[in-house]
Amino acid sequence: MASLSAAISRSSSSPCFPPPNPNTASLSHHRNIFHSQCRAFPLSRPSLFLRKGLTLPPGRESQSTRICASVADVSLNLSVEEKQLPKGDTWSVHKFGGTCVGTSQRIKNVADIIIKDDSERKLVVVSAMSKVTDMMYDLINKAQSRDENYVAALDVVLEKHSQTAHDLLDGDHLASFLSQLHQDINNLKAMLRAIYIAGHATESFTDFVVGHGELWSAQMLSLVIRKNGVDCKWMDTREVLIVNPTSSNQVDPDYSLSQQGLEKWYSLNPAKVIIATGFIASTPQNIPTTLKRDGSDFSAAIMGALFRARQVTIWTDVDGVFSADPRKVSEAVILKTLSYQEAWEMSYFGANVLHPRTIIPVMRYGIPIIIRNIFNLSAPGTKICHPSVIEDEDKQDLQNFVKGFATIDNLALVNVEGTGMAGVPGTASAIFGAVKDVGANVIMISQASSEHSVCFAVPEKEVKAVAEALQSRFRQALDAGRLSQVAVVPNCSILAAVGQKMASTPGVSATLFNALAKASINVRAIAQGCSEYNITVVIKREDCIKALRAVHSRFYLSRTTIAMGIIGPGLIGSTLLDQLRDQASVLKEEFNIDLRVMGIISSKSMLLSESGIDLARWRELRDEKGEVANLDKFVHHVHGNHFIPNTAIVDCTSDSIIAGHYNDWLRKGIHVVTPNKKANSGPLDQYLSLRALQRQSYTHYFYEATVGAGLPIISTLRGLLETGDRILQIEGIFSGTLSYIFNNFKDGRAFSEVVAEAKEAGYTEPDPRDDLSGTDVARKVIILARESGLKLELSDIPVESLVPEPLRDCASAQEFMQQLPKFDQLLSKKQEEAENAGEVLRYVGVVDVTNKKGTVELRRYKKDHPFAHLSGSDNIIAFTTRRYQNQPLIVRGPGAGAQVTAGGIFSDILRLASYLGAPS
């Protein structure tokens, strides 16, 4: 002991224990620490020095004696008036981590927060400045490695705190702190020199050294607050917090002794603002120690319990607790409230919330913990408290059965199985006894009710030792065949869903596993405790992020969040995009329908987004970020966003090749919405296959806009059939273009003149022959015929073309329009004959369900017939059914134009949302 004391004395003449706390009248605590440190250092070390040939200077024992005696001789002034510690709601506790006090400016910000807090009394727990604790541990490592650079490293620590003090303080406050700082640094040099000589540092020596960072930050902060005219004291919590070390590298607070220490401290240092050191404490033997991992949070929670504080606020650099890791899930949200149990579960499973032990002290007294962001004071943060408080404060959260999701990576699954395990007492004990012997940590356990297998997850770095221990422990059973295998499944991750309201709520597990299934995630193992606060699954490590996004979206996004891909941003497609832009916010806010366009593709280029395209700028973005069109990549991108529950492709083209993909998309679970008539009017077997897929799966196919644009033609037909009516005939004017032409083909006007007028007004296709041929009307007729139950091909429909035979092969639309006046006489004659008979000409399509046929032709109607009173480009459809036999059911309205067609598509998208769960 004399040799050790001499070694310390040679490095510095200053004492090797911290100088007296200016707020306390007692030095016995520090004197005991010094003697404890001497006792804690191995007595064999001085003899080790001698065996290695180290020369010890003479007079060590007398110097050591003088140091200790100097402590004993100090006289103390105890004339401080003692005051009783007030407890209860008048106290609020704040904890600021190293990032919060990492610079002089941030320390000023902390001081401002404390001063502005309107609580009657405040206790503030602070960590060391950012990186300082690591720097202190580095000092220990260098010293015990006999690296003389520890001296220079200590000078860096001194400079960091000296510079910060100069930025913050002046006058007596600065002089007082710098004097204390230099004294502490000299003490540390002495201790580090002793460690350097010994080549070893005990745990108590290490804890004593590293705790200085908290001492300095607490002193500086208290002086800054005093500088602002606030009565403030700083507390060295080693004088108050008493803890008992455990075998698991943790400590258990001794609340009784700590309460006594606090009351004694406060009686000598009464103040309404107390700045306390986090992380550090003492053992019952007055040996300095630390609270280990997340020690400052733990300090704040313990202090909150000792003071019976109103609340404990943990200040950090995030806005609160997220529903999932925001680095993995961009849709993660800040949770307004969490119960103690929910926070506990999420912490255990790796979420960056609080260490579980931090919750225990405050939970006992129902003291809420608030997680807040010091860099965003406007954010309210997350409150952790009793469930009853949550329900009173946030009625809306009652529907959030799952509060959050957490993951643990780098795990392996160990599976022990065999028929010999069933009914054999002690098997599980033997398995986990072997695991305990190798010191492995079991994260999760799952056992089949048949008792034939037990599987559990352990950290991957420990699985080899676990497997070897189990192979050795059960060698005889394995050889005899009572156990079939000890198998290891590497590269695993755990996904945990946490929520107190999951308990006794039917369907939560089903929803979770449905979301995983939709994302094609295979579950390796499952565990759920009887408390039902969490459901834990083991999955492949490479599937972890995808699984996390999938389940988070299922519980946190609207059930009617739909990822959409728009094919064909032409006239109709661009109009639809503009309508979506104008209505999206209303749908989300009022109807909980979240429509996100993830991709837009044309024949040449495409624009993709991970979270949704800004529809106010989609044209500009396409020019800036567009890439070469690739339909397979486009569909994979839109459907591959597993954080969105539903996917829909909206085909705004008239392309038969695109329509040929519908079957494949529906099989993949992609909903299809389209005005494209090519799929339903193409080969009959293709149509029947699409309808069969519709009936057999939960994937939807909507095509209302294929007939009548925005008019409810197909939905009306289905409504009649589904309610048991029988369709006799469907007759109508299905072409807005031809409706316009024949509504204006009167009063002696030439047919070519009216066609030219329609083309100029934009009612016709670029080539009017596409309209006049009647093919488009025939496609609508065949669609309605098939919807009525007729199995007809397009070729079965006779079509009267209005394109004169000689003009059908014209090289261009321009040539066609030039030649058309030569054939006006034929149609003019028909129009004149109809007029003379008191009738009008109308180009109609007819589905004759009774005779199982369809036709497209030019017909004459009396002037009192509903078809004779159309205007503009209106469509009109008459349903003659068993119920509506004497007076057909009429549907009439605009049947052409980008706005109404896009509106029909939009209506189908909203119908899809209602099928998926949106309010109707």
Q: Which residues are catalytic?
A: 780
Contacts of 843 (CB under 8 A, 6+ apart): 733, 735, 738, 739, 741, 742, 774, 777, 802, 856, 857, 858, 859
Q: Which two tokens stand for residue 895?
A: 């049947």
Q: DSSP per residue over 817-831, as a string?
A: HHHGGGGHHHHHHHH
Torsion sign across C-alpha atoms 34, 39, 40, 45? positive
DSSP 425-493: TTHHHHHHHHHHHTTPPP-EEEE-TTSSEEEEEEEHHHHHHHHHHHHHHTHHHHHHTSS-EEEEEEEEE
Question: How far apart, in Å, are the Cα atoms of 396 and each of 9, 40, 43?
Answer: 66, 56, 64
Integer Cα distance of 514 and 520 in angstroms: 10
Q: Is the dihedral of CA 679, 684, 685, 688 positive or negative?
A: positive
Please tell me the distance from the alpha carbon of residue 573 to that of residue 624, in angstroms, as a whole number. Answer: 20
CA 399 to each of CA 508, 684, 738, 791: distance values in angstroms, whole numbers, following the listed order = 12, 46, 54, 48
Tokens of 408: 């643990």
DSSP 742-807: HHH--TT--HHHHHHHHHHTT-S-SSTHHHHTSHHHHHHHHHHHHHTT----GGGS-B---S-GGG
Tokens of 425: 């007492």
State the distance between the two ends of the chain, measured CA to CA, in whole angstroms: 84
| 438-457 burial: b if 16+ Cβ within 10 Å, else e | eebebbbebbeeeeebbbbb
Instruction: For residues 90 and 71, give the distance between their C-alpha atoms in angstroms, rounded to a whole number.
Output: 38
Q: Which two tokens stand for residue 209?
A: 């050294």
How far is residue 746 CA from its own chain's centroid?
65
Please name which of 318, 437, 421, 311 lies closest in space to residue 365, comparing C-alpha atoms: 311
Q: What gap in Å lies between CA 826 and CA 819, rounded to an integer? A: 14
Q: Which region holds residue 790: left if phi is over 0, alpha if psi is between -120 and 50, else beta? A: beta
For the chain, what's the residue count? Answer: 920
Cα separation of 810 and 207, whole Å? 95
Q: Between the CA of residue 642 and those of 98, 494, 563, what are the distances in Å?
A: 37, 18, 10
Structure tokens at 716: 């009306």
In three-state form (DSSP H/G/I as H, E/B as E, the rest C), the secondary structure along 148-209 is: CCHHHHHHHHHHHHHHHHHHHCCHHHHHHHHHHHHHHHHHHHHHHHHHHHHCCCCHHHHHHH
Give ∠ CA 595-599-602 in degrees, rounded to 5.
125
Torsion sign over Cα 235, 236, 237, 239: negative
CB contact at 8 A, 100 and 217: no
Separation of alpha carbons 160 and 178, rounded Å: 12
Measure the CA dihedral 704/709/711/717, to 10°: -40
CA distance 905 to 651: 9
Evaluate whether 197 touches 15 at the Cβ level (below 8 Å): no
